[in-house]
Structure 1
């Protein structure tokens, strides 16, 4: 089964066509997809109306799937490997403005990388568009952390390479005022450390590993560390490092969490439904 990879103009982001992902992959096809993802950071497949089983089979090619804590903000998902990225409540109705899960999901509008609060963290995420707003579906934006690192002056790179960062879901959700974590989640998601600078396994290029879950820098004054993280996030998400995905119904959007940041963008979530089904594969080892 041959595929066609069509990069966007910048090379960060590409469309992969010639596949029906409802059919099982083989090793050669997976290797071609992995190569496209490693090179472009973000890839997408149009017209992929996948079942949960088909999406899970796809993500398992990239590594063990992340099982998420059972908590109120994921109540619609029965499969522990999926997360409900939607503005729909447990009864299938659009969530009111004061709904607790709506508040929790607002943090997705900050630049972040999925599951960096865990050890091992996510390596690859796959997001399937189940229902999109009829008018102007909101983009999902990405930033290339390899290109951002390479744009830093060499002397600045030297000051950053040895630093380690504490990542925590409580840090990212506190930005929107969400604190209602259940006991299961608190046990499963203690704060964890990662290097500020990683080497991307697929390309050998170095990249920043930051985002909204990044709380503070180890052995640095907390306020100074937070200021440095905010400065690096602002630098690395400049327009020249970005790709904005324009959603179409039944898209499967796939990205490399180890070398990208992403964020959702706003839409009229009191008028239009938006339902995306999320899953991710984790790194094989802690980083």
Structure 2
């Protein structure tokens, strides 16, 4: 069966069907999937109950997987390429409100792009739905920073294009009051510097590279730079630039980190279990 790509009405986001990702990909299928991702920014596959081996094999088509530091907020994951996006503690129970990892994950409610604090940063992320709340599973929202860039006045684009931004996991987690990083993490995740405006390789379009990890702008007063970053994030996440993913069990949701922002949305995490498995492929070269 041939792969089918069904775009969302805006063209941002698309459903890909006609393929079972529990089976190994071949080059032809990967090429079609890569093309869909480059065009639409976010793609999703329904009913893909993948184990970690299958999900890791999938993400490796897009580049080397990101290995994460072994730290408190990732304690349930044995595979270094996976991140535990869940409200479940190390004993398999729903985390209490005061649990430290719960606080850490609250930063995912801010608009961000994955692993921008690293060099090279993430290129593609894959998130698989293992367990969803029985009622009203929370959506994940995305914003198209290519469309946002295109909507800026030319004079504004010219002002922004030379700027460079420092990205840091400590900046994003400080927004929720989390500071308890171990020494290994601090050694592995120093702040990184990236251009504010990137050229998206898959489409040849320019895009904003911003989000919650963006700490400040190089050679600009820090408070002024943060105000500019907040202004741009607010602009780029307007409703006309968004896609909202409505989760179903075993969805595999895949997005291009270089040209999108995303955020989690809240739910009753003291009542319902939610478990997602995250992995990402990094860029081949520094950005």
Instruction: Name the TM-score, length of structure 1 as normaliser.
Output: 1.00
Q: 1:42 Cα shift?
A: 0.1
Q: 1:106 Cα shift?
A: 0.2
Structure 1 gaps of 5+ residues are none
SS of the counterpart of 1:73? helix
CA distance in 2, matches of 1:227, 1:170: 18
Q: Which aligned segments of 4 or more residues in structure 1 are displaced greater than 2 angstroms?
A: none
Structure 2 gaps of 5+ residues are none
2:164 matches 1:148 = no
> Aligned residue for 2:208?
208
SS of the counterpart of 1:198? strand
2:226 matches 1:231 = no
CA distance in 2, matches of 1:81, 1:155: 42
Q: 1:2 Cα shift?
A: 1.8
Q: 1:184 Cα shift?
A: 0.3
> Aligned residue for 2:131?
131
CA distance in 1, matches of 2:73, 2:231: 31
CA distance in 2, matches of 1:38, 1:272: 35
2:114 matches 1:114 = yes
CA distance in 2, matches of 1:245, 1:276: 14
2:88 matches 1:88 = yes
Alignment: residue pair count: 287
Q: 1:252 Cα shift?
A: 0.1
Q: 1:75 Cα shift?
A: 0.5
CA distance in 1, matches of 2:139, 2:244: 6
2:99 matches 1:99 = yes
CA distance in 2, matches of 1:71, 1:245: 29
User: What RMSD over aligned residues (CA atoms) do the two structures have, in Å?
Assistant: 0.4
Alignment of 1:217-228 (within 5 A): 217-228=217-228
> Aligned residue for 2:57?
57
SS of the counterpart of 1:20? coil
> Aligned residue for 2:244?
244
CA distance in 1, matches of 2:256, 2:241: 15
Q: 1:191 Cα shift?
A: 0.5
Q: 1:214 Cα shift?
A: 0.1
CA distance in 1, matches of 2:103, 2:72: 12
2:179 matches 1:179 = yes
SS of the counterpart of 1:136? coil
Question: After superposition, what is the alpha-carbon deviation per residue over 1:80-103, rounded to whole angstroms, capped at 9, x for unaligned?
Answer: 000000000000000000000000
Instruction: Name the TM-score, length of structure 2 as normaliser.
Output: 1.00
Question: After superposition, what is the alpha-carbon deviation per residue over 1:140-177, rounded to whole angstroms, capped at 9, x for unaligned?
Answer: 00000000000000000000000000000000000000
CA distance in 1, matches of 2:140, 2:239: 14
CA distance in 2, matches of 1:18, 1:201: 26
CA distance in 2, matches of 1:2, 1:24: 15
Question: After superposition, what is the alpha-carbon deviation per residue over 1:171-220, rounded to whole angstroms, capped at 9, x for unaligned?
Answer: 00000000000000000000110000000000000000000000000000
